Amino acid sequence: MENKKFFKTKIFCDTADIKIIKKFNKNSLVNGFTTNPTLMRFSGAKNYKTYSKKLLKICKKKPISLEVIADNFEEIEKQAYEIKSWGNNVYVKIPVTNSKGNFSGKIIKKLSDKGLKLNITAVYTTNQVKKVVKCLNKNSYSIISIFSGRMADVGKDPVPIIQKSVKFTKKIKKIKILWASTREAYNYMQANNCKCEIITMPPKIIEKISKFGKSFRELTLDTVKTFYKDASEANFKI
């Protein structure tokens, strides 16, 4: 990536794959990791706690977000303390609401006041961001994950929401806005232009970041060479 000084937004890798975490844990471009129950399932986890601890044996220093898997707030609280105990680099992911649509504000406040590092997830609106910020202890480290890619998937522009959220939290040093559900490499440029502190990306998109700075001529040649190579290897004839 060229002009690294220009690129301020930190990159997290969105994965629960052990091999990928091993790879990117050594990569200076990647500053941390985010996971969720879906990624855990797709990565082959059978026991949530056991699998999470395997990840933490690899990722000992970089921040890693691990999500609660309960839906009622009493159980969410218990799980949050348990997950927090697994490592000092752990951010406990708490959905902004439960599956019934009830706001998680009380439990967010309680956990944040106790000093837990939290990642409030599944956030989509500036109103949600404002409600969450009111519940967070300004002396505790926190992340608010805004699902920009999923917004774009349904025809909504995430940029204004990210911009407003970054502006709203600008003076609170320990609260960071995270661009989540990244769909393409250009999302990094959007997040960086919005002065969003963190973006989390699937591994394949992180690989594409290394191409930043290529000229259009280089891209043209890369594209044409790929087409020619594939046609030749397929032994196509006209």
Q: For residue 5, is it within any domain? A: no
| pLDDT tens digit sequence for 130-188 | 999 999 999 999 999 999 999 999 999 999 999 999 999 999 999 999 999 999 999 99
Q: For residue 234, is it within any domain? A: no
SS3 of residue 104 by DSSP: coil
Q: For residue 2, is it within any domain? A: no
Q: For residue 224, is it within any domain? A: no
DSSP state letters, 45-62: -SSHHHHHHHHHHH-SSS
pLDDT recorded at residue 73: 98
Q: Give the count of domains, the chain.
A: 1
With CA atoms as reference, report the closest residue to 147 among 118, 176, 182, 175: 182
> pTM for the complete prediction?
0.93
105 vs 214, more confident? 105
Q: For residue 198, is it within any domain? A: yes
Q: For residue 232, is it within any domain? A: no
Torsional class of 155: left (φ above 0), alpha (ψ -120 to 50), beta (otherwise): left
| pLDDT tens digit sequence for 17-64 | 999 999 999 999 999 999 999 999 999 999 999 999 999 999 999 999
- Looking up residue 139, the CATH number of its domain turns out to be 3.20.20.70
pLDDT recorded at residue 29: 93
Place of tokens 């998937």: 153
How far, in Å, are 34, 91, 118, 137, 236 from residue 130 at the CA level? 22, 20, 16, 13, 58
CB atoms within 10 A of CB 126: 17
Range(s) of the domain holding residue 21: 10-211
